[in-house]
Amino acid sequence: MTLPQFTFLAPTSLTEACALLEKHKGKIKIKAGGTDMIVRLSHRAVKPDYLMSLKKIPNLDGISYTPGEGLTIGALALLREVDLSPLVLEQAQMLARAAHATATVQIRNMGTVMGNVCNASPSADNIPTLVAMNARIVASCGVKEREIPIDEFFLGPGRSALQANEIATAIKVPTLAPQSGVSYQKISPRSKVDIAAVNIGAMITLNDDGECQVARISMGAVGPTPLRARQAETFLLGKKITDETMAEAGRLAAEDAAPISDVRASREYRKLMVEVLTTRALKEAVGFAKN
C-alpha cells in the first residue's frame, strides 16, 4: 500500500493546530486514530498537501463524568477505551455497546469515537446513540470554543458543521433524566464487524404513569445523514408504551427512512429492518426506563 505524498504535522497545542488549519486551509486533513484516514489516503479519495496528527496535543484523551451534566468523551478517547470504561458502562452503557460494535478489536484499539463521528458516514456505529441521547460536539478554534448540537452536526456524507479552522475536541453527553432508557441496535448481513446495513438509537423517558414524555429515535444507513424518526417520536408522546404502540412506532420510523440499495442491502430490506430494529430498540429502552 502506497500513500500520496504529504507533509506530516504534529502540533503540541490546540492554538498551534488551529493556526495550521487556518494557514493551510483547503490543503490539510486531520488525523486522530487514523483508521479511516489511512484507508482514504491509500484509495486516493483524499490527497492533502498536509496531514496533521492530534496525538501530541494534551488533554484530548480523557473520559469524565460530572453529576447533573453528564459524560465528556475527549477527541482522542479510543473506541476500546469507551467500550471498556467503567464510567461509560455505568452512565451510558449503550455508548459502550456502540463502540464495541465498531469494526474489529484491532481497529477499536486505534480508532476514536470522535473520528467515527467526524467522518460523518451515514452508517457510523457511534452516531445513532449519541443522537438519541442529544449529545453536543465541542469545536475549538484556538481560544474560542462552541458547542454544536449533534442534530445540526451532519450536513451530508463526509460533511460536518465544523468550520475549516475548527477541531472537534470533545463529545458531551447529557445525564439521562429519571425513568429513561436507551438502546442501540444494528444489523449487517455479512458479519457482525461489517459496516451497518441499518442501525438505530432510541431514547425513551417515561412519567410515573408509564406514559412517554420524551422520545428520540435516530436511524443510520438509511439516508445521506443520520435521520430522526420524527413521525414515530411524535406518535409516542403522551402514550402508554405497549407492544402495539411500539410496533406502530416502528412502522412510522420506516416511513421516515429514505434508504438506497447498495452492496450491503436493498432499499426494501432496509425499510423492513428499520421497522424491526426500531421496535426492538424501543422495547429495550422502555425496559431500562422501568428499572
- The predicted pLDDT at position 161 comes to 98
Supply the mean pLDDT for the chain: 96
181-290 has CATH 1.10.8.190 classification: no
- The predicted pLDDT at position 108 comes to 96
Per-residue pLDDT tens digits for 53-91: 999 999 999 999 999 999 999 999 999 999 999 999 999
Find the mean pLDDT for residues 246-253.
98
- Report pTM: 0.96
Long-range contacts of 288-291 (CB under 8 A, 24+ apart): 288/180, 288/181, 288/182, 288/183, 289/179, 289/180, 289/181, 289/204, 289/205, 289/206, 290/179, 290/181, 290/206, 290/210, 291/181
Contacts of 198 (CB under 8 A, 6+ apart): 186, 187, 219, 220, 221, 222, 259, 265, 270, 273, 274, 277
- The predicted pLDDT at position 192 comes to 64
Per-residue pLDDT tens digits for 156-201: 999 999 999 999 999 999 999 999 999 999 999 776 668 999 999 9
Percent of the chain with pLDDT over 70: 99
CATH number, domain 63-173, options 3.30.465.10, 3.90.226.10, 3.10.20.30, 3.30.450.70: 3.30.465.10
- The predicted pLDDT at position 105 comes to 93
- The predicted pLDDT at position 54 comes to 97
- CATH code for the domain defined by 7-53: 3.30.43.10
Q: Domain extents for the chain?
A: 7-53, 63-173, 181-290
- The predicted pLDDT at position 124 comes to 97
Alpha carbons 114 and 76: distance in angstroms, whole number = 7
Find the mean pLDDT for residues 132-154.
96
Residue 2 pLDDT grade (very low, low, confident, very high; cuts 50, 70, 90): confident
